[in-house]
């Protein structure tokens, strides 16, 4: 059995240290008030058993709480006071420099919490260590100076989660949709070097990857680009090749026909697309940003995003090549083809790619093959998303969050590709995320409905203040802090010395309110799973209340708040640990070492894949700031045709507009669909 030290490193549990600590406190009181040797051993053994029963590594603070409770349970209050006083004194000493142990454990590569935090980072690499070290300093400054004490305590107690506190000290935002079209068509600046409009598709791809790397080093979240912004450069290459091919024919003494020139030029266009797409894939996964990891980038593939005709056909070729290369994969250090982590891919299902014989149906078939082998792309239903997003279709940001439908009334960003009256998404961003622990609200209420809603209201006020801390931290930020973002087109073209303030209001950017544990919250309050028809109305009411608060805050502040089905990662474990500490083990509520993400059906619940996705779809509509669902089913590589059918049926006819399906054995990973 192991424990996690304050530095984050894991060590073997040593009962003698508990016994020694109690004995030291015991000697500080008069002999008649002391514990017996047997009582000290009994307390120590009880603590050991409680740690073992947790089913995970306890941390030092938890163990000390157990010791305190154990001493108090024997009615030896004088000893308990001495133990508490000693503990408090040591805490004050540690706070005099709270980051030393964490940083040293990073340097020695034995910080277990860091190792588990982000699978995309290798904590033994110098650049990653440097980023983590800066993060520890930032977290310390954030806790001691930048955030109100009650918000810090709520975060540490697992009542809320203040995401990415290791970046909060800097004036940085979360994630974005890159206005790649503006940067490519109208030029940009990278590292003080003017980059003009590219003269070929492959050059456009090369510039795009440099832009991606620069953006990743200027924010802490994911980013998304659209292939539609690269597609026009296929025609640029085509016209260049036509001239070159004709010159080559004539130099060889041949007077070619237009058809002959077009045939050879088109072959070279295909080769150019192959090189350009390969460049994106390889550069994205091999680039190392300043935070020591590959850029978290999502590539959007939406045919209807460009006009019908040659440009759409060119976009179709680019999408097709992107899928072919992802199916192939990349070689690891041993020369074995593997699935790269990035870029993530999102493919939109629309009228001209969903039926047998439709113009682009073959691309949808290819997408299904890619999903079966490489877990991407995810899928979006054009039809459903238009219904949910006021007629618009656009990609989520790299971290899965969706912008609110555009309501901007002016060209706040000074974008050179701004069109009055046309909704704008590229160039917009997310200011940050705070997640509320719904299970804690339920457990704190003791099952009393009136008390539940009272606590719910209190927690919403807390969340609003925490979210406004993120907003206020960004206010006054100068465009000079990240020129690629704020001055050279990725998000805006502001002047040097100008603040980004006008991009924080009027719906241009969003702030996300995450939520976790709707399943356990509902079970505690109703005694039933939220899939039970008797309990579903309560779960839906909770979701509607969350949305109502976001709408209220929007009216008060002119800032777009949105409910976000957060990709919680390790936070589900943190929340579970805090719940057990505060409320003990409650069957089907706090008895696991995790709580469920957002609205998800609990993984232990027996439910048909189709019923699961149908049930969860009603909650996706109430998570307008982002949502993701999934099921696990068997190997599908030998049943692609059925898989395609199920993708189309479930994406287009369920209310889901983005949903993931993880298929076991080969990890068939599909958004907004399911398979048999």
Class of domain 149-174+406-598: alpha beta
Q: What are phi and psi of 399, to 5 degrees?
A: -90, 15
Most confident by average pLDDT, 144-148, 444-448, 636-640: 444-448
Name the pLDDT band for 401 (thresholds 50, 70, 90): confident
- Secondary structure (3-state) at 121: coil
* Residue 430 confidence (pLDDT) above 70: yes
> Any idea which of 99-103, 203-207, 385-389, 618-622 has the lowest mean pLDDT?
99-103
User: Does a cis peptide bond (omega within 30 degrees of 0) precede residue 377?
Assistant: yes
pLDDT tops 60 at residue 668: no
3-class DSSP state for residue 647? Answer: helix
| 201/266 Cα distance (integer angstroms) | 13
For residues 670 and 663, what is the distance between their CA atoms, to the nearest angstrom? 8
pLDDT tops 90 at residue 637: no
Q: How far apart are CA 153 and CA 147, in angstroms?
A: 10
Distance CA 149, CA 605 (A): 39
Separation between Cα atoms, residue 591 and residue 579, nearest integer Å:
9
Q: What is the pLDDT of residue 375?
A: 83
Q: How far, in Å, are 65, 100, 496 from residue 33 at the CA level?
A: 21, 38, 70
* pTM for this model (two decimals): 0.80
Phi/psi of residue 43, each to 5°?
Answer: -60, -45
Q: Encoding tokens for residue 420?
A: 């009055």
Q: Are the C-beta atoms of 577 and 593 separated by less than 8 Å?
A: yes
670 band by pLDDT with thresholds 50, 70 and 90: very low
Sheet bearing 378-381, strands edge to edge: 176-177, 223-226, 297-301, 344-349, 378-381
Q: Are strands 2-4 and 10-12 parallel, antiparallel or unpaired?
A: antiparallel
Distance between CA 369 and CA 375 in Å, rounded? 10
Map out the domains of the chain as residue ranges: 2-148, 149-174+406-598, 178-388, 602-676
- Point out the least confidently predicted range of 58-72, 282-296, 319-333: 282-296
> Which pLDDT score, from 0 to 100, does residue 662 have?
35
Chain centre to alpha carbon of residue 543: 20
Adjacent-strand bridge partners of 226? 300
pLDDT digits (tens, 9 = 90+) for 582-628: 999 999 999 998 999 999 999 899 888 888 988 998 998 899 998 87
Render pLDDT for 175-199 as a digit per residue (tens, 0 to 9).
999 999 999 999 999 988 999 999 9
Is it the case that residue 251 has pLDDT exceeding 80?
A: yes
Cβ atoms of residues 294 and 287 within 8 Å: yes
Contact status, residue 606 vs residue 529, Cβ threshold 8 Å? no
Mean pLDDT of 127-131: 64
- Please tell me the distance from the alpha carbon of residue 368 to that of residue 362, in angstroms, as a whole number: 10
Q: pLDDT category, 661, cuts 50, 70, 90?
A: very low
Structure tokens at 456: 């719910």
What would the two tokens of residue 227 be?
A: 């292939």
Q: From 3.20.70.20, 2.170.130.10, 1.10.3720.10, 2.60.40.1530, which CATH number describes the 178-388 domain? A: 3.20.70.20
Please give the pLDDT value at position 675: 27
pLDDT tens, residue by residue, 303-338: 999 999 999 999 999 999 999 999 999 988 899 998
Closest of 425, 394, 418, 467 to residue 173, by C-alpha: 467
Distance of alpha carbon 74 from alpha carbon 609, whole angstroms: 52
Run of H or E residues at 2: strand 2-4
Asked whether the beta carbons of 492 and 413 are under 8 A apart, the reply is yes
Mean pLDDT, all residues of the chain: 86
Answer yes or no: is pLDDT of 227 > 90: yes
Q: Where are the alpha helices (DSSP H) in 157-295?
A: 180-186, 201-216, 232-251, 258-286
Nearest to 216 by CA among 116, 342, 113, 401: 342
Contacts of residue 672, Cβ cutoff 8 Å, sequence gap at least 6: 378, 379, 380, 381, 384, 650, 651, 654, 656, 657, 658, 659
Whether the per-residue pLDDT at 509 is higher than 90: the answer is yes
Cβ atoms 144, 156 nearer than 8 A: no
Find the mean pLDDT for residues 279-302: 81
Strand blocks (E) in 104-200: 160-162, 176-177, 188-190, 193-195
Largest alpha-carbon pair distance within the chain? 113
Q: Are strands 560-564 and 510-516 parallel, antiparallel or unpaired?
A: parallel
| Euclidean distance between CA atoms 397 and 618, whole angstroms | 22
Burial of 336 (0-12, 13-18, 19+ CB in 10 A): exposed
Instruction: Say whether the peptide bond before residue 343 is cis (omega within 30 degrees of 0).
Output: yes
Confidence at 134, pLDDT banded by 50, 70, 90:
low
Q: Is the confidence at residue 655, as pLDDT, over 50?
A: no
Per-residue confidence band for 647, with pLDDT thresholds at 50, 70 and 90 = low
Question: Tokens at residue 465, please?
Answer: 């203040």
**Beta-bridge mates of residue 668:** 663
CB of 227 closer than 8 Å to CB of 318: yes
Buried b / exposed e over 624-641, threshold 16 CB at 10 Å, is: bbbbbbbbebeebeebbe
Answer yes or no: is pLDDT of 99 > 70: no
Share of the chain above pLDDT 90, in %: 60
Cis, bond preceding 389 (omega within 30 deg of 0): no
pLDDT of residue 59: 84
* Beta-bridge mates of residue 59: 4
Q: What is the 3-state secondary structure (H, E, C) of 64-93?
A: HHHHHHHHHHCCCHHHHHHHHHHHHHHHHH
Burial class (CB in 10 A: 0-12, 13-18, 19+), 162: buried
Lowest mean pLDDT among 114-118, 513-517, 646-650: 114-118
The helix/strand/coil state of 37 is: helix
Segment among 47-61, 153-167, 253-267, 645-659 with least mean pLDDT: 645-659
Section 340-368 average pLDDT:
92
**pLDDT grade for 299, boundaries at 50, 70 and 90:** very high
Q: What is the DSSP letter of 31?
A: G
Degrees (nearest 5) of the Cα angle 538, 541, 547?
Answer: 150
């Amino acid at each position: 059995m192991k424990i996690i030290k304050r530095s984050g490193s894991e060590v073997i549990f040593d009962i003698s240290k508990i016994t020694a600590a109690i004995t030291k406190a015991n000697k500080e009181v008069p002999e008649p008030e002391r514990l017996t040797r047997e009582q000290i051993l009994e307390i120590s053994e009880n603590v050991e058993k409680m740690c073992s029963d947790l089913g995970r590594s306890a941390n030092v603070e938890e163990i000390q709480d157990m010791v305190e409770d154990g001493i108090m349970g024997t009615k030896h209050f004088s000893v308990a006071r001495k133990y508490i006083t000693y503990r408090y004194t040591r805490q004050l000493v540690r706070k005099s420099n709270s980051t030393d142990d964490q940083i040293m454990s990073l340097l020695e590569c034995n910080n277990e919490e860091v190792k588990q935090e982000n699978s995309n980072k290798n904590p033994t690499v110098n650049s990653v260590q440097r980023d983590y070290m800066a993060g520890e300093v930032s977290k310390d400054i954030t806790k001691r100076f930048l955030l109100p004490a009650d918000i810090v305590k709520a975060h540490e107690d697992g009542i809320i989660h203040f995401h990415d506190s290791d970046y909060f000290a800097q004036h940085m935002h979360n994630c974005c949709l890159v206005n790649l079209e503006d940067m490519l068509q109208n030029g940009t600046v990278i590292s003080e070097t003017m980059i003009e409009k590219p003269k070929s598709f492959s050059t456009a791809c090369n510039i795009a990857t440099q832009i991606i790397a620069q953006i990743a080093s200027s924010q802490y979240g994911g980013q998304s680009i659209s292939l539609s912004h690269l597609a026009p450069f296929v025609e640029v290459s085509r016209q260049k090749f036509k001239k070159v091919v004709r010159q080559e024919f004539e130099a060889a003494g041949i007077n070619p026909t237009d058809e002959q020139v077009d045939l050879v030029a088109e072959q070279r266009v295909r080769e150019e697309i192959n090189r350009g797409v390969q460049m994106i894939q390889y550069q994205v996964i091999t680039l190392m940003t300043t935070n020591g990891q590959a850029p978290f980038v999502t590539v959007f593939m939406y045919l209807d995003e460009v006009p019908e005709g040659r440009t759409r056909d060119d976009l179709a070729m680019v999408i097709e090549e992107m899928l072919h290369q992802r199916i192939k994969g990349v070689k690891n250090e041993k020369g074995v083809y593997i699935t790269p982590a990035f870029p993530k891919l999102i493919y939109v299902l629309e009228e001209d790619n969903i039926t047998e014989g439709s113009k682009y149906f073959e691309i949808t078939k290819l997408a299904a093959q890619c999903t079966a082998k490489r877990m991407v792309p995810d899928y979006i239903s054009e039809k459903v998303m238009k219904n949910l997003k006021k007629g618009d279709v656009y990609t989520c940001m790299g971290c899965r969050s969706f912008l609110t439908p555009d309501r901007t009334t002016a060209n706040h960003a000074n974008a050179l590709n701004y069109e009055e009256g046309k909704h704008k998404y590229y160039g917009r961003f997310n200011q940050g995320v705070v997640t509320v622990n719904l299970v804690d609200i339920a457990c704190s209420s003791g099952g009393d409905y009136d008390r539940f809603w009272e606590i719910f209201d209190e927690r919403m006020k807390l969340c609003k203040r925490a979210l406004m801390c993120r907003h206020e931290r960004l206010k006054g930020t100068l465009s000079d802090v990240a020129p690629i973002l704020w001055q050279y087109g990725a998000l805006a073209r502001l002047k040097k010395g100008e603040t980004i303030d006008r991009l924080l209001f009027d719906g241009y950017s969003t702030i996300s309110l995450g939520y976790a544990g709707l399943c356990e919250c509902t079970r505690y309050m109703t005694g039933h799973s939220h899939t039970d028809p008797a309990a579903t109305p309560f779960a839906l009411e909770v979701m509607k209340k969350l949305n109502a608060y976001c709408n209220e805050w929007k009216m008060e502040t002119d800032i777009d708040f949105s409910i976000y089905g957060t990709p919680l990662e390790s936070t589900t474990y943190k929340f579970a640990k805090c719940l057990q500490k505060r409320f003990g083990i409650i069957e089907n509520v706090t008895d696991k070492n995790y709580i469920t993400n957002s609205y998800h059906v609990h993984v232990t619940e027996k439910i048909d894949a189709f019923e699961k996705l149908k049930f969860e779809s009603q909650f996706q509509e109430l998570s307008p700031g982002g949502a993701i669902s999934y099921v696990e089913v068997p190997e599908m590589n030998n049943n692609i045709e059925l898989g395609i059918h199920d993708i189309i049926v479930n994406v287009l006819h369920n209310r889901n507009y983005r949903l993931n399906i993880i298929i076991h054995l080969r990890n068939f990973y599909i958004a907004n669909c399911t398979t048999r």
